[in-house]
Amino acid sequence: MRRKSERFCGWGMPWLVLCLAFGVHVADEAVNDFLSFYNPAVEAIRQHAPWLPLPTFTFAVWLSLLVGSITVLLVLSVFAYRGSCWLRPLAYLFSGVMLLNGFQHIVASGYVGRPIAGFYSSPLLVGASLWMFVSLWRTRGVAPRGSRGASGEGSTLIEGRCLTSAFRRRWARRSRSGHKPSALAHRT
């Protein structure tokens, strides 16, 4: 059985919680008729800045796009639990967009003087986004769990790069000799 510190390290759980918070946020927006606020705001913005490509949506299209996005993000949670190197940039982008979305709902509610659709779930979105950022920061440079390199062995991160164990051995051999190679010089 794994120790508690081993079970809960990484950023898989924050990814999953952020996906679920995103789902709760979409439900909050859908129940409180977010599009009745969003579509008129987009039309007003288009009058002042017609070059901005802001779409308007029908309810069915808007909801199906968001449900599809949440489904894809939930499927990617398997890779988040493994700490996949290629998913880290997407994780930073996902948490950044959700953080801005949460703050935007809070600020817009203050601007119009009443809670807009999505306001009540925004603190959950902000909290989950911050947890994701902290978890990503704490796990930088940690070897992904269950990943396999080109040689069939595990991989690790050196200077923010995902490297196979063959490169790790070369890195260690040169490090012992006092030579510190660049991680980019050994990537294939």
Per-residue pLDDT of the chain (188 residues; tens, 9 = 90+): 444 444 445 899 999 999 999 999 999 999 999 999 899 999 999 999 989 989 999 999 999 999 999 999 999 999 999 888 899 999 999 999 999 999 999 999 999 999 999 999 999 999 999 999 999 998 887 666 654 544 344 444 444 445 444 555 666 666 666 655 555 555 44
Instruction: Quote the domain boundaries for residue 31.
Output: 4-138
Q: Is residue 29 part of a domain?
A: yes
Q: Is residue 148 part of a domain?
A: no
| Same domain, residue pair 75 and 109 | yes
| Same domain, residue pair 120 and 182 | no
The pLDDT assigned to 178 comes to 63
Long-range contacts, stretch 47-50, CB < 8 angstroms, 24+ apart: none
- Residues linked to residue 156 through DSSP beta bridges, in sequence order: 163
Does the reported pTM lie above 0.85?
Answer: no
Where b means 16+ CB within 10 Å and e means fewer, 170-188 reads ebeeeeeeeeeeeeeebee
103 CB neighbour count, 10 Å cutoff:
14
Q: Where are the strands (E) in 104-170, listed by range?
A: 155-158, 161-164
C-alpha–C-alpha distance, residues 13 and 77, integer Å: 8
The pLDDT assigned to 107 comes to 95
Q: Phi first, then psi: give them for residue 162, nearest 5 degrees.
A: -85, 120
**Domain count along the chain:** 2
Q: Is residue 149 part of a domain?
A: no
